[in-house]
Amino acid sequence: MAHRGALTALIAGVLALAACRPSPPPVGQVREPPPPRPPAAQTRAVTLFFLGASSGELIPALGEMETSPDPAANARRVLDLLLAGPRDPGLVPPLPPGTSIRGVYPLGDVLVADLALPPDTPPLEGTHNEMDIAYAVVNSVCLNVPEFKGVRLLLNGTDRSPLVSHLDLTRPLRPRL
Amino acid sequence: MLWMLRGLFYLIWAAGAMAGTFAFENRKAAVPTLERAGMVYFQLDPVLQTLNLLREPYRAGKGFQVVHQDRLLVLGEDSPFVILDGEIQQMEAPPVVEGGQLFMPAGFFTGPLARLVDGQIRLTGTTLALTDLKLAEPPTLSAVEVHYLGGFTKAVLVFKQDVAFTVKEGSRQVLIQFPKPVRYAGRPLQFDDPLVESCLVKDKQVLLTLKQENTSLSTYSLSNPFRIVLDIARGRTRSSRGAESAPPSRFLVILDPGHGGEDLGAKGRTGALEKEITLAIALRMAPLLAKSGVEALLTRTADTAVGLDERAGFANNRKGNLFLSLHLNAHKLNHARGSETFFMSLDAGTETAPAEEGQLLTGNSPLEFILWDLAQTEYLKDSARFAERVQEEMDRLYGMEKRGVKQAPFKVLAGVTMPAALVEIGFLTNPEEEKRLVGEVFQEQVAQALVRAVLRFKEEIGERWRTAAH
């Protein structure tokens, strides 16, 4: 009985080793499977709002961005594109040069967008300038990321920025399209 | 091996964890806390459980919500902001998720959560103590009675306790507002009454819908039990409906020259300042209005800094009939030109009236529509009318680019309780317009145009008052 047990174990061991050895590929088949490709990033067209150099009004321009399942990440990408400025020379960026993003925070259907204006930015003069900046952000975000119905805009972390003297930023702004 | 790694992770986590306490009435609950970057964070759920509150997924989007007596607090895992009853509030830091649990910075408890439960939460070390909780029950509406008494209807709202309230009238609505949400177990009511159609209770409002326009309303309260009594009769014999009330014995216009003091406003290339030109035009308008029998007061008469709240307060305290804020525009493109006139938008995105009833602007419920309508009928229609008159006169004056009448959520317009408009007279950044704007002749022409707009508006309103009085 002991011999039979030892024989069974030996056979099992040999079979196991054989299973571990690489077997030659069958004729006509590729030996190595192709390495897995990283999933192609999903991109889509987006509409951004810049100032028309001749009209001085906010007008839509097309761009393209990678999309994410996370609406806040998409909103941030939209803002990155907006801050990068227009490609079309007939358009002008509405935000002061050097503006950056301090953070974006989704809160329900409102995006809190906290922008950092350069430290030497003078107070924004005139309602037109204020509205151009605010609605370039609000329109671009809400049109491209429909999860957000409005944007609460903070400048340098506050909704009572001394740079803005006309618009009420203490409430979310809805798009003006 | 795995258990060793788990143990190591736990030790690392525990190194930053502390035992905290949440004290409420005679109860004390242990609350895990964390310290990060010198700040104390408390685990949210044990505190909520002690208060019989629940954190649940936010119904309208990403994040969580906590509901207390119809008040809504929304928070996110990675956001330093929370929304309490529609107001966004900032915390000192975003929450921390540790071991699958949500930890909120101490300021969340002493700030938004304390306001949610209408109490005070104080922080001492790692102890949060809830005090001064308003334990009184929310206003409880026990019955709504409507009786037609021949010629008028008496509607009575019966409460279990005394409540503060205000009453607003719309064309076919009466809105009774309370500082807190009203508890009412009944359903919306329909009445078989000649004057009152229905009653709807929602949140902090009770809305009576009437069967006809042109009614008069008399409101008073009675005690034991507390009752709000509304006597509604046919015909508008008295009213408190803003510009539609009885013709005022005087017509007072509040002129608001924009900016002032250190706040220069827009600047022209040659150094012209918005604050100086707006003041000069307002000072020219006042005597012109006086000649036409219209009293005018200025929110500033010199080069002084006046806050936006002060300007609105000035107008409201003096019970102005009309408010006009004077400004000059600026643009990064110096060829931008022309004048434009704004009136207030309740919703920042609201540019036009809804196409049809039920198509909402500010929310998604009929009540919100009616509220919007109430406010709209109270001041916005007159503000829009006044803004149109201003723009018409400015267009006639300029005879060139017409930028039109627009709506915008401007701070100074939001604060005044009267028909109001803000005019951007021209672009100071446009060299051609700057040249005109600094000239006394042009300033006089602008003043005359704006006075014509005021007088036209006053005449139109007066016509309505006379019609209503007969």
pLDDT single digits (tens) B161-209:
777 788 888 778 898 988 778 888 877 788 888 899 999 988 888 999 9
Instruction: Give the lowest-confidence range in A160-164, B86-90, B364-368.
Output: B364-368
A108–B347 CB contact, under 8 Å: no
The CA distance from B460 to B96, in Å, is 60
CA dist B225 and B129 (Å) reads 36
Inter-chain residue contact A110 with B83, CB threshold 8 Å: yes
pLDDT at B374: 56
pLDDT per residue of chain A (177 residues) written in tens, 0 to 9: 444 554 454 444 444 444 444 444 444 444 566 666 666 678 999 999 999 998 889 999 999 999 999 999 999 999 999 999 999 999 999 999 999 999 899 888 889 999 999 988 888 888 999 999 999 999 999 999 999 999 999 998 888 788 888 998 888 899 987
Kindly state the average pLDDT of the residues B40-55: 91
Residues of A near B (Cβ–Cβ under 8 Å) read: 51, 53, 56, 71-72, 92, 103, 105-110, 112, 123, 125-129, 131-132, 138, 147, 150, 152, 157, 159, 165-168, 171-176
Tell whether B443 is within 8 A of chain A (Cβ): no
Output the pLDDT for position A31. 56
pTM reported for the whole predicted model: 0.65
Greater confidence (B43 vs B371) lies with: B43
> What was the pLDDT predicted at A124?
86
pLDDT of residue B351: 34
Q: Which CATH class is domain B244-469?
A: alpha beta
Residue B336 in contact with partner chain A when CB distance is under 8 A: yes
Q: How far apart are the first and last CA of chain B?
A: 93
Give the residues across from B265 on adjacent strands.
Answer: none
Nearest CA in chain B to A165: B411
Query: A with B: how many residue pairs have Cβ under 8 Å apart?
Result: 128
- Mean per-residue pLDDT for B20-38? 87
pLDDT given at position A13: 46
Is A105 close to B267, i.e. CB distance below 8 A? no
Residue carrying structure tokens 């009004």: A57
Contact A127 B342 (CB under 8 A): yes
- The verdict on whether omega for the bond into residue B112 sits within 30 degrees of 0, i.e. cis, is no
Could you confirm whether domain B12-131 is CATH 3.30.457.10? yes
**Reported ipTM exceeds the 0.90 cut:** no
Q: What is the pLDDT of residue A140?
A: 97
Using CB atoms, pick whichever of B331, B409, B428 lies closest to residue A168: B409
pLDDT of B364 > 50? The answer is no
Say what the pLDDT of residue B358 is: 28
Q: Give residue B433's identity as a one-letter amino acid code.
A: E
pLDDT at A33: 62
Angle, helices B440-469/B381-398, rounded to nearest 10 degrees: 150
**Closest-approach residue (CA) in chain B for A173:** B348
CA angle A125/A129/A130 to nearest 5° reads: 90
Give the 3-state secondary structure of residue B243: helix
Is pLDDT of B288 > 90?
Answer: yes
Residue B369 reports pLDDT greater than 60 = no
CATH of B141-240, one of 3.40.920.10, 3.40.980.10, 3.40.50.620, 2.60.40.3500: 2.60.40.3500
In chain B, whose CA is at the least distance from the CA of A147? Answer: B61
CB A108 within 8 A of CB A72: no
Cis-peptide, bond into residue B139, ω within 30° of zero: no
Would the pLDDT of B22 be above 80?
Answer: yes
CA distance B229 to B171: 19
Nearest CA in chain B to A139: B349
* B341 confidence band (pLDDT: 50, 70, 90): very high
pLDDT of residue B242: 39
Show residues of chain A in contact with B414, CB under 8 Å: 168
Q: Do B61 and A108 touch (CB under 8 A)?
A: yes
State the nearest Cα–Cα gap between A30 and chain B, in angstroms: 38
Residue B80 has pLDDT above 90, yes or no: no
Q: Report the range out of A86-100, B78-92, B133-147 with the highest average pLDDT.
A: A86-100
Nearest residue in chain A measured CA to CA from B260 = A165
Of B79, B333, B410, the CB nearest to A166: B410
Residue A23: the pLDDT is 46
In chain B, where does the domain assigned CATH 3.30.457.10 lie? Answer: 12-131
Distance set, CA B64 to CA B22, B44, B79, B82, B457 (Å): 21, 12, 11, 10, 49
User: Under an 8 A CB cutoff, do A172 and B348 touch?
Assistant: yes
Inspect the interface and report whether the beta carbons of B329 and A126 lie closer than 8 Å. Answer: yes
